[in-house]
Structure formats: structure tokens, C-alpha cells
Amino acid sequence: MSPDAASPEVPAGIRVHPRVGDLEATLRLALSGESLVRAKESLARRTTLRVGGWADLLVEPGHEADLACVVVEANRLGVPWRVLGRGSNVLVRDGGVRGLVIVLGRPAFAVIEAASPLLRCGAGVRLNALSAEARRLGLGGLEFLAGIPGTVGGALRMNAGAWNAMTFEKLEAVRSMGPDGSVMEQPSGAIPAAYRRCDFFRENIALGGVFRGEPCSSREVEARLDELNRRRWATQPAAPSAGCIFKNPSVIPAGRLVDELGLKGTRIGGAVVSDVHGNFIVNDGQATARDVLGLIELIRRRAREERGVELETEVEIIGE
């Protein structure tokens, strides 16, 4: 097993889950050498917004058998667990996460197998890598994934999308692991998915998916990627963020609503509503999760009081 970094001291007032120590000891003996186990791991550095506390225990299983062991042992000991992808749509509260955080970041989960026009991708595959492989093979229709700073697992869990396309629209099959460690693969149509959510993955772990591309020339795919990248950099901030904070209401896009409310540039601590896109909150380098949450509530209150619109967060808020 890969050695872990030195664990920091637990800050005053934070109490780790009482069975985490037992789980850590068990996993250090049971998992393969490809796995990584870290106690008191900072989650701020594992999320794109760069805020939040840390997990009592973080594990990167080496492969599926290790993952099954992690899940089974955590359940046996009564330690709550959750899966974290690249952290691009997550806001971790400053108190961190009690229990176990699982990250599918080892090479075994980042494999792409091509059988054109199908691409079988592990949960740890970055979406820009998936898009790049599709371009190499002359497969279109997956360009929208290139600018989403996440992984296949996160895209499945959130039915991620951009430019009027969504993940589940491009899927043929989904591979997953149940809470008992069992693995299954099923047609994507058998799994209900909605706008920015897939409830199936509240209890099950996404292991990967089979994507279908549309055969076309690499030149066409390249042109489409260039156009989307140009539009993305013109309309989205470069500073650390969690992506779009709110789901778009039916009556008006969230970014336009924030703009019309005159909230661009509004600041609480180190958290700022982006001047580039109103649906982004950026970290100026000094923000805390409390700052970001305060800004979210300010925006929601103004939208409710002045426009009668109830904004729902798209970003997932976790921790204490």
C-alpha cells in the first residue's frame, strides 16, 4: 500500500468518527499495494473551489476488489462513506467530513477502451481525456464534456452537461458497484436520470460508462472543440470555483437573474460573485466555505424577495 503523508492534528472542536481508527487499521492490512490510505486528509486541495475542512479518512482503492473491500468493511464497522470525484461540483463545509471519503483516483479506474463508435471509460477518466480520445478516433457528439473539470464518475452521478447536452444522452451502458460490493452493468436507459441528478448513485458507486460517439472527421471534431473552448473562456471565470452554483430555474437562467439583480462582484470575505458569469462564485485565494455559503444565501434571498424565484443549488454541499 502506498505510504500516506503525515497526518495533521485534529483542530479543537472536531471529533472524528469513533470507528474510523478501526477502519483505518483494517484497510491498511487488507488492501493491495496499489491503494492509498490517508487519515485527516484536506478536502480543500481536492476540490476546485479550494475551500473546506478535511475527511477523517480518505482512501484511494487500487482496483475494484479493493473498493469492494473498503465499502464492505466501512459498512461492517458502521462508518459512513461517500465518493468524491475531482471535486468540481462540490462545496465542503469548513468542519470537513466525518467518516470515510473514497476517491477513484488510481490508474485502474482511469482506463479508456475504444471499440468505435463506443468508448468504455472508467469512473476516474477525466472528461477532457474522454473528449480527446473521441477526437483522435473521429467521434463527435462528446465535445461538450471537454470543458467540464470532472471525471466520468462525477458526470454519471450528476448527469453533468453543458451546451444543451447531458451525459446520459450519450451513454449506452453503466457499470456500478452496490453497497454490498457487488458489481453490475446495465443499459443506461434502465437508470433514471434527470437534470443535474441521478439518484441511483446516492447508494451505488459509479465504476464507469460506455459512451457512443458519432463517426465524423477529426477535423470536424477539432473545429467544434475550438468553438466551444472559445465560448467557454469568454463566458466563464478562470479563478477557482465549483462551476455553476445554481440550477437554472424554468423562468430565467440563473446567471442572468444574478446579473439583473446587480449582484456581480458582490463579496463576502474571500468569496466573490464572478464579474464574468453571475452563476459562478469564485475564491480570491482567502475564501472559507462559510464565506461561500453566506454568498449563496444572500443570492437566494434576493432572488426570492425581489423576483419570486426560488433558486436551487446545483453544487453539492457536504460536511459539517
Residues in Cβ contact with 144 at an 8 Å cutoff, skipping those fewer than 6 apart:
161, 162, 163, 165, 228
How far are the Cα atoms of 30, 32, 100, 127 from residue 27, in angstroms, in the given order?
Answer: 5, 9, 12, 30
Check 98, 120, 157, 196 and give the catalytic one: 196
Q: Catalytic site residue 86?
A: no
Q: Read off the C-alpha cell for 56.
A: 477523517
Active site residue 196: yes
Q: What are the φ and ψ backbone dihedral angles of 18, each rounded to 5 degrees?
A: -65, -20
* H or E element in which residue 124 lies: none
Residue tagged active-site, from 41, 143, 314, 316: 314
Count of CB atoms within 10 A of residue 161's CB?
18
Q: What is the CA radius of gyration of the chain?
A: 20
Q: What is the DSSP secondary structure assignment for residue 201, as one 8-state letter?
A: G
- Catalytic residue status for 244: yes
Residues labelled catalytic: 196, 244, 314
